[in-house]
Amino acid sequence: MVKIKAFKGIRPNTQDAQKIASLPYDVLNTEEARVLGDKNSQSFLHIDKAEIDLAKEVSPYADEVYQKAAENLQTFLQKEWLIKETTEKFYIYELTMNGRSQTGLVVCTSIDDYLNEKIKKHEFTREEKELDRIRHVDTCDANTSPIFLTYRENQGINQLITDWVKEHQALYEFTSFHEVTHRVWEINDTAIIQDLEDLFAAKVPYLYIADGHHRTESAVKVGLQRRQEFPAAPENAEFNYFLSVLFPKEQLDILDYNRVVNVPISVDFLADLAEIFTVTKVGKEIVKPEKAKTIGMYLAGDWYQLEAKSDIISEDPVASLDVSILQEHVLTALFDIQDIRTDKRIDFVGGIRGLGELVELVDSGAYTVAFAMYPTTMEDLLNVADSGQIMPPKSTWFEPKLLSGLFVHDLESSTK
């Protein structure tokens, strides 16, 4: 079973929450962040992507960027744009998009639970991205962005959260990026906090990383580094935990994560596809897959439906994924794309951008063919994690995104 812990949150003051809350650092490039930061001196991007406050020629990975992030965090605290709680609390974080809501519990989770595989992953990380967040967490001495975790639903936990929301006023309520409404409540009742800790300890055997593998690895590695630096620190030292938001999987939605490819198309391509798929030419009408094992393809001005033949469908939790079928039988077998993380001939389009984006990219000549995917399901994700396997890169696209800046976890290393 898993351990969760209340913490003294660093959070926005009530009137500044919407100004401070920003999109996550990893969904914006530096120039996009710079534009937003120039318009808003209170944006959390000044902490999460501090290169926007330095000269354009400065590398995002330069030492001064991480120092600037730490300085900006202290400035936000000094100006009381951010305040640190004096008591340990949980928070409830609700996001509503297109009429659908998901409600998570904001807590600290244990690095030991991750090391002991009670917090399960489904992706590999890239060293350069991991190193960036290690340096950021280390220099700021804080988890500045939460990890997005999920778990199999428990009615007792649901009821406690639902009752608290009904009976208490929200700290924050605002609508921000992509018309998502964000609401936050604090749980300051020690009895309820204990009840939630006990329920997770008794009823939730595993947590699963939905989004934030690099942040998780980075937080854990900084925590282990602090253990070496402070060997006499108690078990409940803050650096032994990292900031997380826990959502029941039943409330989450994964969008399609589509592919565009720039490769020469052979005259035999459709015939080759017909060996492994039932290929139906649809024409100009966009093909949005309505069921698993079906892929939409846009090629030379026309849409096709590709339905996987039964002899290529596996029972293995990874090999059976639609993204795996496309990878093995098309991208690798026909295009010789071996590693989609590094091959420059392929790119990825999150489902929130719509399938019209695929048409535009192919019609522009930037790519020769596009593939519209049926979304990976939450049960797929958990099954892969439970099997100890890893999904292909770019298998899941979660919306809505958790905003950064609403919650910060102080590692409190300076007090040791």
Q: 415: which residues sit within 8 A by CB, 6+ positions away?
A: none
Q: Is the dihedral of CA 114, 119, 124, 129 positive or negative?
A: negative
- Number of domains composing the chain: 2
Q: 233: which residues sit within 8 A by CB, 6+ positions away?
A: 226, 227, 239, 240, 416
Across 225-242, average pLDDT: 95
Length reported for the chain? 416
Q: Which domain holds residue 182?
A: 4-253+399-415
pLDDT band at 43 (very low <50, low <70, confident <90, very high): very high
CB-neighbour burial class of residue 214 (10 A; exposed 0-12, middle 13-18, buried 19+): buried
Nearest to 323 by CA among 297, 302, 295: 295
pLDDT band at 342 (very low <50, low <70, confident <90, very high): confident
State the DSSP H helix or E strand holding residue 5, giving kind and residue range, or none if neither. strand 4-5
What pLDDT does 408 receive? 98
Q: Is the dihedral of CA 395, 401, 405, 407 positive or negative?
A: negative
What pLDDT does 28 receive? 87
- Residue entry with tokens 């905003």: 403
Q: Is the dihedral of CA 195, 197, 199, 202 positive or negative?
A: negative
Q: What average pLDDT is seen over the chain?
A: 95
Domain co-membership, 230 together with 376: no
Domain co-membership, 192 together with 289: no
Domain co-membership, 151 together with 260: no
Across 151-162, average pLDDT: 96
Domain co-membership, 299 together with 242: no
pTM of the model: 0.90
What pLDDT does 158 receive? 96
**CATH number (domain holding residue 289):** 3.30.1760.10
Q: Of the ranges 69-73, 322-326, 355-359, 410-414, which one carries the lowest mean pLDDT score?
A: 410-414
Across 222-245, average pLDDT: 95
Q: What is the pLDDT of residues 303-312, one digit of tens each?
A: 999 999 999 9
Domain co-membership, 241 together with 148: yes
Q: Of the ranges 24-28, 49-53, 194-198, 317-321, which one carries the lowest mean pLDDT score?
A: 24-28
What pLDDT does 7 receive? 98
Across 209-234, average pLDDT: 94
Domain co-membership, 115 together with 215: yes
Domain co-membership, 99 together with 127: yes
Q: What is the pLDDT of residues 387-416, one digit of tens each?
A: 999 998 889 989 899 999 999 999 999 775
Q: What is the pLDDT of residues 277-287, one digit of tens each?
A: 999 999 999 99
pLDDT band at 124 (very low <50, low <70, confident <90, very high): confident
Domain co-membership, 30 together with 163: yes
What pLDDT does 341 receive? 82
Domain co-membership, 49 together with 120: yes
pLDDT band at 128 (very low <50, low <70, confident <90, very high): confident
Q: What is the pLDDT of residues 55-68, one digit of tens each?
A: 999 999 999 999 99
What pLDDT does 104 receive? 98
Q: Give the span between the Cα atoms of 308 and 322, in whole angstroms.
A: 9
Report whether the peptide linkage leading into residue 231 is cis, meaning its omega lies within 30 degrees of zero: no
Domain co-membership, 217 together with 281: no
What pLDDT does 416 receive? 59
Across 167-184, average pLDDT: 96
Domain co-membership, 365 together with 328: yes
**Whole-number Cα distances in Å, 227 to 131, 222, 389:** 18, 9, 29
Domain co-membership, 176 together with 113: yes
